[in-house]
A and B are shown apart, each in its own frame.
Chain A
Amino acid sequence: MSGGMAGRAEGRVGRRAGLTWAVHLSVLLLVVLWTLPTAGLFVTSLRDRDQIAVSGWWTALATSTQSLVFRAPAGEGEVEEAGRFVLRGTVLDGGAGRVTAFGTSSRAPAAFGPGETADLGDGVRLTVAADGGYELSGPQSFKAGRGQRIFHTAEVPPRFTLANYAGVLGAAGLGRSFLNSMTVAVPATVIPILVAAFAAYALAWMRFAGRGLLIAAVVGLLVVPLQMALIPLLSLYNGLGQAFGFDPKTYIGIWLAHTGFGLPLAIYLLRNYMAGLPREIIESARVDGANDFEIFTRIVLPLSFPALASFAIFQFLWTWNDLLVALVFLGAGDDRLVLTGRLVNLLGSRGGDWEILAASAFVSIAVPILVFFALQKYLVRGLLAGSVK
């Protein structure tokens, strides 16, 4: 897989080392630019919700100074010592970190340094140590109050949680939805490829009346907005369902819909690729008496693997990440909900649970990335493409 051309060039001309470095650096820059936003989402998916809303995701990577509020318990765990009620504990969640200042009023949240004693009036005293330990004491029991707020500024080490992923992966019906998505996406990828490959071959290498017109129509249909087609198609399905007495929302229905919507791009990409195949091999096969079906299945199809694999990736991504078509043609019922639908429903009626959004984005990306890895090797030079020309 290693780049053959680069290797040859290097072998011949030594002074190109500097250029190679430039290539490495430019690719690195591109990769960083392209990955950084996603990396942010990944870090976000490992943070808890309250942190996400108040600090940038990059702050989670290092120790950061934060202004926090801790509420001491309302009397639970207090002990009586020398006529005074005393509450002890730590203000730091999880115990790690260092307190640099504290206070008891929202107006002066950093009035005292660690170890100092704050007088809250009525004989109530508070001290917070640098390690987060606090001692609150007063002449009366704290049970009557609502719990003293302790404002503190602390240096907090990075803190990550897997709770978001646990929440997403533990959602009821996720496994079912995973299977539903697979059931939708695999045939909805393979069927259009088959249909489009035959059509693309016909448009590239067969002679018949109206070929140019058909090619134009395919390009034109590329632009048809999906949303426009939904209502007419669903009423067609409903009409057929009523006439023949079946449920209009079936897997076959959604495969055909994805096939129809994906076909223009598939035919367009494949036809352009196939038309670029060397004429000689096809001509010589014809001379040998092979018919078009044989030429297609034995020569053109194997040669077209890179294009087939690229389109397979795109179509799979599209069907896997699709929500709209699935909701319309398969419905939102519990037993038919696809993965995207299930994950979106986790967000609650008003959305905006960034932590769930982030975690679910990475849960649903797993499969498309696998498909990309699996098909990537077919994207390299096709079996013969290099040698036949």
Chain B
Amino acid sequence: MTQLYTALFTILIGIGAAVVYFGGSNWLLDRAFPVRGPGGRVAGDRVAGDRVARNIRLAGLIRPWLFLGPAILALGIYLVWPVAASVWLGFRSRDGSAFVGLENYRWLVTDPVFRESMLNNFLWLLVVPAAATFLGLVAAALTDRISWGNLAKSLIFMPMAISFVGAAVIWKFVYDYRGEGEQIGLLNAIVVALGGSPQAWIALPFWNNFFLMAILVWIQTGFAMVILSAALRGIPEETVEAAVIDGANPLQIFFRIMVPQIWGTIAVVWTTITITVLKVFDIVLAMTNGQWQSQVLANLMFDWMFRGGGDQGRGAVIAIVIMVLVIPIMVWNIRGARAEGGGP
């Protein structure tokens, strides 16, 4: 049992420290720049009033950074610094010991596998975010209308909860190929039952990309559904009721009234899945490892970083390409944030 207590204790320490920081730092700020007199009364006289105004301003300057402090620190150490290290490594040799200038970039643009990966990634970006977001939206909208919707949601969500090792086996039993005789792959069994001939799905160049994408769509639809469902339920009922009274049919209500109201959330889901696609490598690693022309950038990077002792320089430049690809999405999101103008 001691282990259990140690675990609980450790958990409490970790969470407690975070709570203490936020509560404590704000308490300190309020003490340092009091805006209220004892007992909560707002001070009445003019001098005190000036001090209060100054304190409100100072507290207002400092407080955002108290709120943001831990996040900026964590992001700085865990993400910004490794990015900087990668940029540096991108100019270095295999083990980072010598400066090689743009050599790694020159290698990159001439590498045929890199070109293949870019093309495949482009396909992935085109298909997966759109498919997963759309299916997630449909699932969220439909399951909200039926009595067993929560059960349906849980089942659609389940792929997200399955560990990657599990997912790889699941899809092995879908795509498995046997030349003749009894198929143990579901897809080929269906094809054979319908009178077709079995195919080695994941070994069909070009088309295999789509079979791999199906796995990610299968996983990510649950994500899209959960987020979009929360957004759909946040839609004010009056807007829908007004449309019902006007005699709009359910499809019109959905596409003309509801979808526009959650447009922001749809954009968030689409962005998140797009970024997941850029980072996807475990599906490709486990199913094909980029063979049969199914390589993608993140797996190519993984390959160069770790296989056979790794080539830090080349791995780093591929990582940089992945990060550069996200810039358009960044710009688009900042525009969105400006337009929506949240906050004062």
* Chain A residues near B (Cβ < 8 Å): 1-6, 8-9, 12, 16, 19-20, 23-24, 26-27, 30-31, 34-38, 40-41, 44, 52-59, 176, 179-180, 182-183, 186-187, 190-191, 194-196, 198-199, 201-208, 212, 214-229, 231-233, 236, 251-252, 255-257, 259-261, 263-265, 267-269, 271-276, 283, 289, 291-293, 296, 306-307, 310, 313-314, 317, 321, 340, 343-344, 354, 357-358, 360-362, 364-365, 368-369, 372-373, 376, 379-382, 385-386, 389
Contact = CB atoms under 8 A, between A and B. Distances in A.
Contacts of A361: 162-163, 165-166, 169-170
Interface stretch (B97-105, B110-118, B123-131, B139-147): B139-147
B201 to A, nearest CB: 13
A239 to B, nearest CB: 13
Contact of B144 (A3, A214, A283): A3
30 contacts: A6-B146, A12-B244, A24-B146, A27-B152, A30-B135, A31-B156, A34-B158, A37-B171, A37-B173, A44-B169, A56-B183, A56-B185, A198-B22, A198-B67, A202-B67, A205-B344, A208-B64, A218-B75, A225-B301, A227-B301, A251-B10, A259-B78, A268-B268, A268-B271, A269-B272, A292-B60, A293-B30, A306-B230, A361-B165, A364-B166
A190 B15 CA distance: 7
Contacts of A9: 244, 250
Interface centre among B35, B59, B61, B158 (most CB of A within 10 A): B158
B308 to A, nearest CB: 16
Contacts of A257: 78
B275 interface: yes
Contacts of A191: 14-15, 18
Nearest to A212: B334
Interface of A is mostly: helix
Nearest to A252: B14
B75 A263 contact: yes
Contact of B14 (A221, A255, A310, A385): A255
Highest count of chain B CB atoms <10 Å: which of A27, A289, A310, A385? A27
Interface string B84-114: 0110000000000000000000000000000
A209 B337 CA distance: 15
A198 B63 CA distance: 10
B289 interface: no
Interface in B45-102: 59-61, 63-68, 70-72, 74-75, 77-83, 85-86
A246 to B, nearest CB: 15
Interface string B1-18: 001100100110011001
Contacts of A389: 236
Given A3-B144, A52-B184, A221-B83, 16 more contacts: A27-B139, A30-B156, A41-B173, A183-B11, A203-B68, A205-B344, A217-B75, A220-B326, A221-B75, A227-B301, A256-B77, A259-B74, A260-B75, A321-B162, A354-B169, A386-B236
Contacts of B71: 195-196, 198-199, 263, 267
A354 B168 CA distance: 10
Given A3-B145, A224-B323, A357 B165 contact: yes
Interface-central residue, A206, A219, A274, A307, by most chain B CB under 10 Å: A219
Given A3-B144, A372-B157, A340 B165 contact: yes
B268 A207 contact: no
A369 B154 contact: yes
Q: How large is the interface on B (under 10, 10 to 19, 20 to 34, 35 or more residues)?
A: 35 or more
B194 interface: no
Contact of A379 (B81, B229, B268): B229
Contacts of A6: 144-146
Nearest to A226: B279
Nearest to A7: B145
B170 A40 contact: yes
A97 B230 CA distance: 52
A24 to B, nearest CB: 6
Given A27-B152, A214-B68, A275-B340, A291 B35 contact: yes
